[in-house]
């Protein structure tokens, strides 16, 4: 799947995987050693994340049911918790630096293809 920032005309992920089942959401990126540029994970039914047992830092973008950005967590390291974004329904996990490189900001409209 592709994730685009329509507001900034930029690419967030060219090859994002959907985690939409309980097991896939719970496992998330735990089996990964890293994320390559262009990769990402879209976690449904998600308004916060934990980084316990992760091996690398990531950027996280939280979006609401209209795919608007409601939360940004750049460079969250292993063994941390994000805050809860009560209006979020999905989290998009991407490599560190993607939030800045894509110029993603609160209120931006994302498109998931």
Q: What is the pLDDT of residues 2-30, one digit of tens each?
A: 999 999 999 999 999 999 988 888 778 87
Average pLDDT over residues 38-50: 96
The CATH class of the 3-103+108-112 domain is mainly beta
pLDDT greater at residue 47 or residue 29: 47
Q: And the tokens for 1?
A: 């799947």
Q: How far apart are CA 44 and CA 92, in angstroms?
A: 9
Q: Which residues contact 100 (CB under 8 A, 6 or more apart)?
A: 74
**What confidence score (pLDDT) does residue 88 get?**
98
Is the pTM value of this prediction over 0.85?
yes
All structural domains of the chain with their residue ranges: 3-103+108-112
42: pLDDT strictly greater than 90: yes
Q: Which residues contact 20 (CB under 8 A, 6 or more apart)?
A: 44, 45
Q: How far apart are CA 113 and CA 111, in angstroms?
A: 6
Q: And the tokens for 40?
A: 């990402």
């Amino acid at each position: 799947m592709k994730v685009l920032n329509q507001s900034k005309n930029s690419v967030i992920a060219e090859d994002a995987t959907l985690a939409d089942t309980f097991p896939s959401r719970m496992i998330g990126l735990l089996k990964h050693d890293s994320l390559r540029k262009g990769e990402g994970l879209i976690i449904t039914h998600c308004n916060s994340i934990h980084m316990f047992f992760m091996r690398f830092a990531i950027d996280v973008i939280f979006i609401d049911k209209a795919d608007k950005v409601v939360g940004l967590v750049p460079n969250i390291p292993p063994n941390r918790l994000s805050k809860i974004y009560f209006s979020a329904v999905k989290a998009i996990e991407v490599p560190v630096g993607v939030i800045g490189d894509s110029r993603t900001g609160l209120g931006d409209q994302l498109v998931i293809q």
